[in-house]
Structure 1
Amino acid sequence: MANIQWSGLDQIQQNLLRLPAMFADSLRSAANTGATVIKNEVMARAPEDKGVLKSAIYQKHIDELSGADRQVYYVSWRKGKSSELDAFYGKWVEYGHWYVPKKPKGVRAKDHRAANRNVFVPAHPFLRPAFDTQKDAALSAMRNKLAENVRKAIAEINR
């Protein structure tokens, strides 16, 4: 019978227990890199009439939907009405909208409707096309970042 002796099992076990935490950070970093690629393209495509919509674009990590095996980022625009940084009208720009001219005082509603027909303002999509054109580049950037992070984690384990 062969006599087998194991050494270093405790160190291997400790390293294996550290892996999920190490790779969760790596996964978050990779997801952030992909979201940044999408955000940069969204900002490049956003209309710049007054610059409010472009400055309202953000990228945010969503802790509630993220975990050790999944990281979620939102890329969107601030939708509030309370500050100059908010662009509540972003949805109208993305999908188009109906424009109804304001009725001046002293004009009957029936006369106003007869004189001013509703006009459909066409969409100027910027969020959807940005995702469609950059999704492959974002995936590639995420893969590269994840591979880099995994190499760093392995080097740290081997120290």
Structure 2
Amino acid sequence: MANKAAATVSNPNGFADLLAKMSEAASESTLRQAAVAGARVIHKEVQLRAPVGPVPHIRSGKLYPAGTLKKSIALYHDDDKSSVKKALQVYGVTIGRDAFYGLMVEEGHDFSGAVAKHAKRTEFGTSKVPAHPFFRPAVDAKSREALDAMTAVMQQKLNEAKNG
């Protein structure tokens, strides 16, 4: 006597529907939401670590109050590096135009005149100009939390697809 097995399929389209929902869960919108969730974690930490000078400064006749650098930290979507076809969405944290000097602070420049014009751009400062890095330490401190935030968004979308 041969062993036989029988199966009954009560929802023949169920698997196809689940695959369609999972595909939707990995859409460009979901990827953007996940990427921006991670970028927000880094953005917040960069803002917390951005130094605030003791006095305002003037450039080309415009007054920049103390704290302009901290207020100018912004999120952006990198259209050039992002791709729907490659399932890649890239967000970044940058310094706005009002804080044109941000990279100089990050890389070891000072704003005491000639030193600012001639100091080398280096993460570690120079013999005359100390560095005040705040981007790299922020990324180092919060990269795991950023990854967790992105993972949470993706997990939520997958759960919604599975249960919805």
Give the alignment's TM-score, normalised by structure 1: 0.69
User: How many pairs align?
Assistant: 134
User: How far is 1:6 from its partner?
Assistant: 6.1
1:18-33 superposed matches below 5 A:
18-24=21-27, 25-33=29-37
2:52 corresponds to which of 33, 48, 54:
48
CA RMSD, Structure 1 to Structure 2 (Å): 2.8
Among all aligned residue pairs of Structure 1 and Structure 2, give the percentage whose two residues are the same amino acid. 38
Structure exhibiting the larger radius of gyration computed from Cα positions: 1
User: How far is 1:15 from its partner?
Assistant: 4.5
1:67 corresponds to which of 84, 93, 96:
84
Whole-Å Cα distance in 2 between the matches of residues 48 and 8 of structure 1?
62
What are structure 1's unaligned runs of at least 5 residues?
Answer: 81-85, 102-118
Change (3 A) 1:128 1:2: closer
For 2:130, the equivalent position in structure 1 comes to 122
Does the CA contact (< 8 Å) of 2:18 and 2:161 recur in 1?
Answer: no
User: How far is 1:92 from its partner?
Assistant: 0.4
1:10-25 superposed matches below 5 A:
10=13, 12-24=15-27, 25=29
As a proportion of its length, which structure holds more helix?
A: 1
**Mean CA deviation greater in 37-46 or 16-25:** 16-25
Change (3 A) 1:146 1:12: same
Change (3 A) 1:10 1:148: closer
Whole-Å Cα distance in 2 between the matches of residues 95 and 52 of structure 1?
17
The one-letter amino acid paired with 2:154 is L
Aligned-partner SS, 2:99: coil
**Mean CA deviation greater in 128-137 or 139-148:** 139-148
1:100 corresponds to which of 97, 114, 119:
114
For 1:116, the equivalent position in structure 2 comes to none
The one-letter amino acid paired with 2:26 is F
Whole-Å Cα distance in 2 between the matches of residues 142 and 45 of structure 1?
22
For 2:159, the equivalent position in structure 1 comes to 151
Whole-Å Cα distance in 1 between the matches of residues 25 and 6 of structure 2?
36
